Amino acid sequence: MGEQQSERGIQRLVFAVNGQRFELSHVDPSTTLLEFLRSETPFKSVKLGCGEGGCGACVVLLSKYDPVTDQIEDFTINSCLTLLCSVNGCSITTAEGIGNSKVGFHPIQERFAGFHASQCGFCTPGMCVSLYAAIVNAEKTLRPEPSPGLSKLTVCEAEKAIAGNLCRCTGYRSIIDACKSFAADVDMEDLGLNSFWRKGESNEVKQSRLPLLRCHNAICKFPEFLKEEIKAAASVASEGNCCYSPVSLQQLQSLLQPNEAKNGVSTKFVVGNTGMGYYKELEQYDKYINLKYIPELSMIREDETGIEIGAAVTITKAIEVLREENRGEFYQEGKMVFIKIADHMEKIASGFIRNSASIGGNLVMAQRKSFPSDLTTVLLAVGTMVNLMAGQRQERLTLEEFLGKPPLDSRSVLLSIRIPRWNLSRDVSSKTNTEILFETYRAAPRPLGNALPYLNAALLAEVFPCETSNRIIINSCCLAFGAYGTKHSIRAWKVEEFLTGKVLTIGILYDAVKLLETIVIPEDDTSYSTYRSSLAMAFLFEFLSPLIDTNAEISNALLNGYTSYLLPKNSRTKQNYDQYDEIKSPTLLSSAKQLFQLSKEYHPVGEPLTKSGAAIQASGEAVYVDDIPSPRNCLHGAFIYSTKPLARVNGIKFEPGLDEVSALISFKDIPGENVGSKTKFGTEPLFADEVTQCAGQRIAFVVADTQKQADMAANVAVVDYDMENLEPPILSVEEAVKRSSFFEVPPFLNPKQVGDISKGMAEADNKILSAEIKLGSQYYFYMETQTALAVPDEDNCMVVYSSIQCPEFAHVTIAKCLGIPEHNVRVITRRVGGGFGGKAIKAMPVATACALAAQKLGRPVRIYVNRKTDMIMAGGRHPMKITYNVGFKNNGKITGLQLEILINAGMSADISPMMPHNMLGALKKYDWGALSFDIKICRTNLPSRSAMRAPGEVQGSFIAEAVIEHVASTLSMEVDSVRHINLHGYDSLRLFFENSSGESLEYTLPTIWDKLALSSSFEQRTKMIKEFNKHNRWVKRGISRVPIVHQVTLRPTPGKVSILRDGSIVVEVGGIELGQGLWTKVKQMTAYALSLIQCDGTGDLLEKVRVIQSDTLSLIQGGFTAGSTTSESSCEAVRLCCKILVERLIPLKEKLVEQMGAVKWEILILQAHLNAVDLSTNTLYVPGFSSMSYLNYGASVSEVEVNLLTGETTILRTDIIYDCGQSLNPAVDLGQIEGAFVQGIGFFMFEEYSENSDGLVVAEGTWTYKIPTVDTIPKQFNVEILSSGHHQKRVLSSKASGEPPLLLAVSIHCATRAAIKEARKQLLSWCGQDGSDSTFMLPVPATMPIVKELCGLDSVERFLKWTMATKSGNSA
């Protein structure tokens, strides 16, 4: 089909989606596949998560048919980046096409559900497609046929199948188990909790219980009609749509007319369009040229001198070619080089990006736009050549010359690259025992890629043994470095020249490292510039240091990837340590344990049932707000926000000729009050009036025919600001204090001081005074961004569909803004694609803006906020500054803690006045003796901060651990001993928590603390880690055990239960399903509570229950879904409803039993309808004072490994014990515990929510904001739910699980600190100091640059100097 294309563009676009034929003409060439799928097809599983190719929510399987070979190529792509014009002749498979509720779910979808691997479900379809593609491609291999039900995938491949997919809910462990269940080499014992088998069953039985993967499940069928059209060479593309597909260089040259650029005609070259994910396009191009069909750009040629790869060849294809195994032994060195290039390429972006991204596109982005490319660095080191076409002329350049040219113009095209084959016949054939050594390096936040590096390097050397000494001579070398804040990758020529011909010694290596320091210098304004430079020196050291004192033997180990100082040595220490270290396999994760006790007392409550709706979430059939089909004449909106923190807005202008804008709505258009959100502490305006209060504040709402047009209009809008005669903005808590800018905390929320602080400090043997901690913010990163749809209804009414955690509050806000009675507003929420607090207050203005626009224009209006805008406006977690004084005894017992806390609330109160109460609830987990505090809520010119999962509690818990760590360091004590001595006894617990403390038997923390020490082998591993650290220079390990005490409060919650004529049951609750399993628990409670009628058939009631969407006119007083307790309070509301219904049914049941004997449920309900029994009731559960508040307990042990050369922290193992009371659903609660913990890892270790000097967020998407991924969670993740027995004041003795476990992630941070402490001791010893001063503050998040800085940015130089001095001393 491709051969028939011409430069004119052709008549039609033909492709298939899930087997359905689509034929299009006159396609907008900028339209993406995702836009088409979501707007023009019924397939809504394809989600927009980021629009950058960085999250995997939009992944589809693309299949291409080659009529010559009769072969089908299947691979995943990002539909959010792939242009629709580029899928001509292709077959697209979405999650619905894999399986669905109508034709049957695919085993992948069933196993995702059964392994409890879907919570909010927004990311699940993309995960399923990624795994499906991996299985399909594995089946094409010649591997042995696997056992029934399994695929040809390996465990390692199964894990990596979803490495590029993000999930914010689950913590990934359950997802990985679902993936691994398909692997041919899986050990069923390694798979965690699922709904398929029971504990203790044999592996054979377990395998037989899995949904069976049959041959047809693992084969992607290419539509026959499309094959026939391809064979018939049907035409493609559309005439006059400015999208061209030349099939020869001549046609391409004819398209690149020299006068077009002069006339302002803009041209875009396209292969995979993945560059759009990084360089966002604000305007459309005049001409799109698809380069994929030009043979010279798609060819791959190999001969004895090297491999030539066309510029349009994808990175994935290049990796396959470089890894080919049919190269002869003669080319062993060249093969090694090719394989290591391929290995490095596999860390570029993610699999679905590499499947589309071209080699040439990556290099040209680096050349034209200084993209921080990995490819340029790796290819530079091996002497790559490039073939360039400029107009009618072709030229051949070195890659270095290509990168150094002025940026290519629109008439210049990269045709191909040539990677030379490195073998010993080159230049050094006369030397004996000469070897080629080649290594590539990258330091990035994620080991498997999907993250830009801080620096990358590729180092190649030809070396041979010195004849006169036991040393190595460097014959030649090539040292390339890139991505460190420079225009492009560079060769370190001066270092190469210095090393060439030298006998390698410690002194020579030191001089080379110091010389490199003068060369690798990031440009001004590069973040972490000193860290980046230190990485270059570290990588050079790591490359060359194994060559020193090698006894003149260059073995195959060196050739194939030699052992460096980074690897733990094969010592007795290592062997002993392995008794407690189960992470030995090359897989990402090892087996994990999930332990809990089942209770049948309230069946089916307490059963680990699969989450309600998990299967339709996996198939993409679950409907989220943006999946609701657009009503007729629907418009789309986008926010225009301020980029200045305090400024007058004089006006907003658009470019002339921008005809797509239907309306621009601002505060002047509001008929009621200018209110966008409302809490009990105050309101926030929907739009800024004359003066903006922060960068990121909403100024206006632009409305257009499509979301794309609205977003583009908002992007190009020019806001006229005026800052004359305005006070300077308040951008810090310190400035807020100076100007007395605070929000008030209501008296009922003010926490009480504990004890006499003066007495406590007087009793202390030691004091730490005026110590400071600073904590930053965190973004929610829900996979589904803010979204709403407003539809005008009759009689001045408004129906609003909103992805929100508190529809009731949006209802009130919309009515006030529109100036209409509340009974004219209806807010409907079915499910939310992740919330974490960000879909509570922050969702209100999104819904309100749509409603306002819909009212003004008399048409439906919807919005799906793009990720950048969402991040800028979200506010996120509260940053704060803490100053503390602490007094303590010589044995570590703390006698008094004094705190001054400044909380940055932003421009409006939101929920900030609750923060002191929340913080103190978590901070009081230790017995401080006396506790005094002064907490101020600072009003600043920044976006208002809002509730984020464990708001205040996570900061309070961290402050407590920071104080404990500081005390332990000051006393040179083991920090675990200091923690233990300051744990509460029951008496001190009652003193600190008063009414929340419960009975003494409910205080389970001491039991958890001791039990965890045993189950995690804490003491033994601590000893082993000490030995490990003694024997390993460049890797240090740390371990930490931390407790949590987390106070939660129940709120009034409504419920409604109705029994229909056929015996099926409809339930409504005030709580919203966010992925936390609320609907599942409510269904279980309904089935249990109605089964108390005790008639035949009530054992199957669970399948008869449906929980329906929230509707603010159907069930009022819904309140907030927040604070971890909404599930249990919703369950209690439903239980009360069921109790009423059972009481109504009992008289009739008794009567029927007398008449008929046993009576079935269906008969009973039918008779009840006939006898006019009221079978619908609603209640409002109001918790009593004594049961309103209670404490949650848990503890975790975490072990980490820190790479001293890069600062990378690897989480080796985490063990958690958490008290859930009697869990309402252990599977759901385990998912909540794991997911919360991993979100906490993000806060403590990865997520930097950075702003510029005006307070405008600059972390705008997946490129700059890194949440945890499958390769950054604990390698071994063990969780035990403690069943702590009966709690009379709890809902069926249950306890909350949504937020408290997040606090346990501080154990990762503390373990990292312990590892750094060992590194600092070593560093000081190299300087001749004893290393006893271990006091330092580890910031949050503890990112790689931070960790490396604390371990010593100059550690390599210090080590080399120390080594030289030591050898010099020994010689003397």
Q: Mind giving me the DSSP string for 747-815?
A: GGGPPPPBS-HHHHHHT-SEEEEEEEEEE-------SS--EEEEEEETTTEEEEEE--S-HHHHHHHHH
Report the C-alpha gap between 1129 and 1116 in whole angstroms: 15
Report the candidate in 780, 165, 172 with the shortest Cα–Cα distance to residue 450: 165
Q: Which residue has the tokens 């047009």?
A: 709
| Phi/psi of residue 663, nearest 5 degrees | -165, 155
Enter the DSSP assignment of 952. T
Which residues, listed in sequence order, are joined to residue 722 by a DSSP beta bridge? 648
Report the C-alpha gap between 1102 and 1097 in whole angstroms: 11
Q: What is the DSSP string of 879-945?
A: PEEEEEEEEE-TTS-EEEEEEEEEEEEESS-TTGGGHHHHHHHHHTTB--SEEEEEEEEEE-SSPPP
Report the C-alpha gap between 1086 and 1344 in whole angstroms: 49
Exposed / middle / buried, residue 691 (Cβ in 10 Å: 0-12, 13-18, 19+): middle
The rounded mean pLDDT for the chain is 92
Report the C-alpha gap between 1208 and 540 in whole angstroms: 17
Give the Å distances, CA to CA, from 1357 to 91, 373, 511: 56, 28, 9
**% residues pLDDT > 90 (the chain):** 84
Which residues, listed in sequence order, are joined to residue 1209 by a DSSP beta bridge? 1202
> Which residues, other chains included, contact 725 with Cβ-Cβ below 8 Å and sequence gap of 6+?
none
Is 62:75 a contact under the CB 8 Å cutoff? yes
Q: Provide the pLDDT for residue 558.
A: 43
> Which residues, other chains included, contact 542 with Cβ-Cβ below 8 Å and sequence gap of 6+?
439, 441, 564, 565, 566, 1205
Is 495:516 a contact under the CB 8 Å cutoff? yes
**Bridging pattern class, strands 13-17 and 20-24:** antiparallel
What tokens does 863 get? 């919005």
Is 1277:1234 a contact under the CB 8 Å cutoff? yes
Q: Provide the pLDDT for residue 321.
A: 95
Total number of residues shown for the chain: 1372
Report the C-alpha gap between 1261 and 52 in whole angstroms: 8
State the distance between the two ends of the chain, measured CA to CA, in whole angstroms. 78
Is 802:858 a contact under the CB 8 Å cutoff? no
Other C-beta atoms within 10 Å of 469: how many?
A: 11
Is 646:735 a contact under the CB 8 Å cutoff? no
Amino acid at 765: D
Q: Name residues of the chain where pLDDT drops below 70.
A: 1-11, 217-218, 233-241, 258-263, 325-331, 424-432, 549-586, 1331-1333, 1369-1372
Give the Å distances, CA to CA, from 1249 to 733, 778, 1133: 17, 6, 39
Report the candidate in 792, 800, 796, 676 with the shortest Cα–Cα distance to residue 1111: 800
Q: Provide the pLDDT for residue 1333.
A: 64
Enter the DSSP assignment of 314. B
Q: What is the edge-to-edge ordering of all strands in the sheet holding 13-17? A: 20-24, 13-17, 91-93, 59-66, 71-78
Is 880:733 a contact under the CB 8 Å cutoff? yes
Report the candidate in 537, 541, 530 with the shortest Cα–Cα distance to residue 515: 537
Give the Å distances, CA to CA, from 1068 to 359, 416, 469, 1140, 1177: 54, 62, 83, 15, 10
Q: Provide the pLDDT for residue 26.
A: 84
Report the C-alpha gap between 119 and 611 in whole angstroms: 8
Q: Mark 71-110 as b/e (b = at least 16 C-beta within 10 Å).
A: ebbbbbbbbbbbbbbbbbbbbbbbbbbbbbeeeebbbbbb
Amino acid at 792: P
Other C-beta atoms within 10 Å of 1196: how many?
A: 32
Report the C-alpha gap between 130 and 724 in whole angstroms: 54
> Which residues, other chains included, contact 419 with Cβ-Cβ below 8 Å and sequence gap of 6+?
306, 307, 308, 309, 322, 338, 341, 379, 382, 384
Three-state SS for 104? strand
**Bridging pattern class, strands 1176-1181 and 1053-1059:** antiparallel
Does an H or E element contain 1043, and which? strand 1035-1049
Instruction: Compute the Cα dihedral for 1159, 1162, 1167, 1168 and give only its sign.
Output: positive
Enter the DSSP assignment of 46. S
Other C-beta atoms within 10 Å of 667: how many?
A: 16
Q: Provide the pLDDT for residue 580.
A: 39
Report the C-alpha gap between 1033 and 566 in whole angstroms: 8
Amino acid at 721: Y
| Phi/psi of residue 1162, nearest 5 degrees | -65, -40
> Which residues, other chains included, contact 392 with Cβ-Cβ below 8 Å and sequence gap of 6+?
253
Q: Provide the pLDDT for residue 591.
A: 84
